[in-house]
Amino acid sequence: MTRKKVLFVATVVKMHINVFHIPMLKWFHDQGWETHVCAKDDFDADETCEIPYCDYFHETDFARFPLKIQNIEAYRSMKKLIEKEKFDIVYCHTPVGAAVARLAAVSERRNGTKVIYMAHGFHFYKGAPLANWLLYYPAEKFLSRFTDLLITINKEDYGRAKSFHMKRLEYIPGVGIDLNRFSVLPGIREEKRKELNISDDEFALVSVGELSRRKNHRVVIEALHQLENRKIKYFICGCGALENELKDLIKEYGLNDQIFLLGFRKDIPEIYNACDVFVFPSLQEGLPVAMMEAMACGLPVIASNIRGNSDLIDRKKGGYLIKPTNVDGFAKGIEKMEKNRDRLDGIRRYNLNKIQQYRTEEIVDKMAELYQQIM
């Protein structure tokens, strides 16, 4: 019997396929499917490009901006691949990867190939720049007509996509999180706080995310400068283009003994367990995995009131939602939690309970049901 074939498409491997899609690759592999991945190899020069549960990797040099000429070559190579391999499912992600894949699969859809697009957060959203709306909204609406199943991961996108032209629209809350890895870890807190030099009477905040404008770490740094509370420490895990700019700001405010840029870390679950509150001031999200992981480790949340964040945090139950540019709002939220540490246990329990619906096994089961329905 001929094995069924699935092609996963995204702009890059390391920072997308390997971060979000290994559980679904495993599911297809375990079901006996032949698994293919089409993406750009974004591993460092001294690293090997490895994709678990992938039978065949087709390197494709996507440009992140849709109007770059190299995406035309990506389209040609992918069209040739899809017509040669006769995939049963083309499962696409990321705006550029999904646009190229859907156009490349037009002819094979007539022969039975099913095209699925998971939107990890449309680039047009409430508060987005006008340029995003002018470019991405009409593009996504047009491309939806070449889509058998469009999956959105937050409610704002789901509501907006109802006016599109895909055959079927579904809402699935994210790609799932591993609750075996991200959980409350008894005995870890004291040890990790000692390693991070957090004393018993200090209040530790943590953020996880690249150092970029979109992640908006600056607003929390400004808030801590405003508070002038030396008992609060703030740990930022992540790398990015704004590292030097943020270091300069921290130095300018004299906060070097309070705010720490930890870079890329492999011990994120342990750091979550050592800290008291997760802070997430991002300007744009789809459904933030880092926030879900923090909730799974029992952390209360102070976050920007944007799409995705508001899907996860119930006001005054799971934490606080604040306008992303409101420095005073973040300062007050941090101060309120710091002064009421004894009342945070209820928030921790609430988040631990809520996050159960986002566990990987739950999401994989929902996705598997959709695959079986469209085939």
> In which band, very low, low, confident or very high, does the pLDDT at 64 lie, cut at 50, 70 and 90?
confident
Query: In 10 A of CB 13, how many CB atoms?
Result: 24
Question: Could you check whether 5-176+359-374 and 188-357 share the same CATH topology?
Answer: yes
Query: What tens digit of pLDDT does each residue of 317-336 get?
Result: 999 999 999 999 999 999 99
What is the arithmetic mean of pLDDT over 159-176?
A: 96
Cα separation of 308 and 290, whole Å?
12
By C-alpha distance, which of 149, 123, 132 is closest to 286?
A: 123
Q: How confident is the model at residue 66 (pLDDT cuts 50, 70, 90)?
A: confident
Report the residue count for the chain.
375
Q: Distance between CA atoms of 374 and 166, rounded to whole angstroms?
A: 13
Confidence of residue 152 (pLDDT cuts 50, 70, 90): very high
Count other C-beta atoms under 10 Å from residue 211's C-beta.
Answer: 22
Q: Is the pLDDT of residue 137 over 70?
A: yes
Q: Please give the pLDDT value at position 182.
A: 97
Mean pLDDT of 75-96: 97
Q: How confident is the model at residue 345 (pLDDT cuts 50, 70, 90)?
A: very high
Decide: 91 and 120 in contact? Cβ < 8 Å.
no
**Short-list 357, 175, 180, CA closest to 269:** 180
Structural domain spans, the chain: 5-176+359-374, 188-357
Q: What is the per-residue pLDDT across 8-23, written as a single tens digit (0 to 9) for each?
A: 999 999 989 999 999 9
* DSSP H or E run through 159: helix 155-161
E strands in 43-172: 56-59, 89-93, 114-119, 149-152, 169-171
Q: What are the structure tokens assigned to 288, written together?
A: 């933030």
CATH code of domain 188-357: 3.40.50.2000
Average pLDDT over residues 79-91: 97
Distance from the Cα of residue 320 to its chain's centroid: 20
Euclidean distance between CA atoms 282 and 221, whole angstroms: 13
Could you give the angle at the alpha carbon of 173 between the alpha carbons of 168 and 179, nearest 5°?
Answer: 140
Estimate the share of the chain in helix, then strand, then coil, as percent rounded to the nearest 5. Answer: 45, 20, 40
pLDDT value of position 68: 85
List 359's β-bridge partners, or say none: 177
Between 3.40.50.2000, 3.40.50.150, 3.40.630.30, 1.10.150.120, what CATH number should domain 5-176+359-374 receive? Answer: 3.40.50.2000
Q: SS in 3 state form for 220-271?
A: HHHHHHHHCCCCEEEEEEECCCCHHHHHHHHHHCCCCCCEEEEECCCCHHHH
d(Cα 275, Cα 140) in Å, to the nearest integer? 40
Q: List, as own/partner pairs, every contact residues 24-32 make where C-beta atoms lie below 8 angstroms and the sequence separation is at least 24, other chains included.
A: 24/91, 24/175, 24/364, 24/367, 25/51, 25/52, 25/53, 25/54, 26/52, 26/53, 27/364, 27/367, 27/368, 28/53, 29/53, 29/55, 32/3, 32/4
List, for residues 192-220, the tens digit of each pLDDT value: 999 999 999 999 999 999 999 999 999 99
Check whether 1 has a pLDDT greater than 70: no
Q: How many CA atoms lie within 13 A of 42 on its CB side?
A: 17
Q: Residue 174: is its pLDDT beyond 80?
A: yes
Asked if residue 154 has pLDDT above 80, the reply is yes
Per-chain mean pLDDT for the chain? 95
Contact 156, 312 (CB under 8 A): no
pTM: 0.91
Average pLDDT on 242-249 reads 98
26: left (phi over 0), alpha (psi -120 to 50) or beta: alpha
In this structure, the strands spanning 149-152 and 319-322 are unpaired
Section 338-348 average pLDDT: 94
Residues in CB range of 328: below 8 A, 6 or more apart: 223, 226
How far apart are the C-alpha atoms of 215 and 246, rounded to whole Å?
Answer: 12
Tell me if residue 57 falls in helix, strand or coil. strand
pLDDT in tens, 253-297: 999 999 999 999 999 999 999 999 999 999 999 999 999 999 999
Instruction: Sort strands 34-40 and 301-304 into parallel, antiparallel or unpaired.
Output: unpaired
Local confidence band at 69 (pLDDT 50, 70, 90 cut-offs): confident
The whole-number pLDDT of residue 292 equals 97
